[in-house]
Amino acid sequence: MPDNLPSQENIAFFNGQLLPERDVGISIRDRGFIYGDAVFDATRTFNGQTFKLREHVERLYNSLRYLRIDPGIDPAKMERWSLEVVNHNYPLLPPGQDMWVMQRISRGVESSEPGAESRPTVLIESHAIPFARRASLYRDGIRVVTPSVPRIPPRFVSPRAKTHNYLNLIMGELEVHETDPDAWAVLLDESGNLTEGKGSNIFLVKDGTVATPQGRFVLEGITRSAVLDLASGLSLPVAEEDLDLFDAYTADEAFLTSTSLCICPISSINGARIGDGKVPGPVTNQLMAAFSDMAGMDYVNQYLSHLPS
């Protein structure tokens, strides 16, 4: 780490070097900005330790291959620079906090010159997870609503690549937030099956089986995979399969997963109470405890500690 970096403010990695974050700006002609022609990935820290960083970086490189962007640096370096950013920025957080660290690579600045080869833009940055804003979800459960906008299917642009094109998910979210600003949108697909929210995966529990939509139609969360592994470890049957609103309305339990949420219980879907409405249900509770064990800290408590007293 260069000596000249300010010790009291956040840094970022940008196109080959570490810089004070406030000195980084994206070109107004960067394709990541003008077209969303970019990919990213994000992991979080638990007590300052990154969680499954390698898996996140591997997924990042699959996204890059799909978009045919060559980032110019290899996965090992991407990982190393990410740790540098974390190591510098984490101590700047208030105690009890944790953060995301994100890699973003765009195809570079649009050029109008014939033959001019564009170099990709590479950015690694971190920022705090909004624990306070979400704390009540762990006490009350998430209200999930399925908007009328369906999720873009893989043939148009694959949801398995984590890109800067989020408008489809945002249109769904806007629709839901107008009637219930605190609800979370989970989009259906063309066949009426549950897919994903903006950055989250959904699970249903029915008769003891832990089920989630097929990986082909969503961004396969690293947390999603971890939960499937945890469930198997607890001898719970798991299924990756089509799940529709009939499944949702007749489920015993339901929860969302994401890098930052880990596992968070759902209280209702489209206003239909899940199970008896108490969250978390027993299977969800078991998985949440197992997740905390794996993460090496009680992440639920971390969230709940931010509830206004």
Q: Which of residues 119-178 bind a second copy (CB under 8 A)?
A: 123, 125, 127-130, 132-133, 145-158, 160-161, 163-168, 170-171, 174-175, 177-178
Q: 306 Cβ partners below 8 Å, 6+ apart?
A: 131, 132, 134, 135
The SS3 call for residue 296 is coil
- CB of 201 closer than 8 Å to CB of 221: yes
Contacting a second copy within 72-101 (CB under 8 A): none
Q: How far is the CB of 88 from a second copy (least distance, A)?
A: 16
From candidates 34, 76, 83, 307, binder to a second copy by CB under 8 A: 34
Least CB distance from residue 148 to a second copy, whole Å? 4
Decide if residue 117 touches a second copy (CB under 8 A). Answer: no
Which of 2, 7, 8, 113 is close enough to bind a second copy by CB under 8 A?
Answer: 113
Q: Taking CB under 8 A as the rule, does residue 55 contact a second copy?
A: no
Give dist(CA 73, CA 16) in Å, integer.
9
Contacts of 64 (CB under 8 A, 6+ apart): 39, 70, 71, 105
Nearer to a second copy, 31 or 52 (CB): 31
Number of residues this chain uses to bind a second copy (CB under 8 A): 79
CB-based contact 99:45 (threshold 8 Å): yes
* Least gap, CB of 129 to a second copy (angstroms): 8
Tell me the torsion sign for CA atoms 14, 19, 22, 23.
Answer: negative
Residue 198 beta carbon to a second copy: minimum distance, rounded to whole angstroms: 9
Structure tokens at 109: 């600045």
Of 77 and 177, the one with the shorter C-beta distance to a second copy is: 177
Q: Which of 4, 7, 8, 112 binds a second copy (CB under 8 A)?
A: 112
From the list 256, 137, 263, 135, the residue with the least C-alpha distance to 197 is: 256
If one asks whether residue 105 binds a second copy (CB under 8 A), the answer comes out as no
Choose the stretch contacting a second copy; rule: CB under 8 A; options: 36-44, 229-237, 283-291, 294-302: 36-44
Of 77 and 160, nearer to a second copy (C-beta) is: 160
Is position 57 an interface residue for a second copy (rule: CB under 8 A)?
no
When asked if residue 68 is in the footprint of a second copy (CB under 8 A), the reply is yes
Are the CB atoms for 274 and 239 separated by under 8 Å?
A: no
Question: What does residue 196 show for φ and ψ, rounded to 5 degrees?
Answer: -160, 165
Q: Restricting to residues 183-242, which ones interact with a second copy according to CB under 8 A?
A: 183, 188, 190-192, 216, 242
Token reading at 206: 């029915």
Is residue 24 part of the contact set for a second copy (CB under 8 A)? yes
φ, ψ for residue 89 (rounded to 5)?
-85, -30
Strand pairing class (196-197; 200-206):
antiparallel
* Residue spans of alpha helices (H) in 101-194: 131-134, 137-140, 167-179
Interaction residues for a second copy, span 261-280 (CB under 8 A): 270-272
| 5 touches a second copy (CB under 8 A) | no
Point out which span in 30-38, 79-87, 90-98, 229-237 binds a second copy (CB under 8 A): 30-38
* Other Cβ atoms within 10 Å of 212 Cβ, number: 26
Residue 200 bridge partners (DSSP): 197
Per rule CB under 8 A, is residue 1 in the interface with a second copy?
Answer: no
Nearest to 184 by CA among 213, 142, 131: 142
Q: Which stretch binds a second copy (CB under 8 A): 77-85, 106-114, 277-285, 288-296?
A: 106-114
Q: Is 65 in the site for a second copy (CB under 8 A)?
A: yes
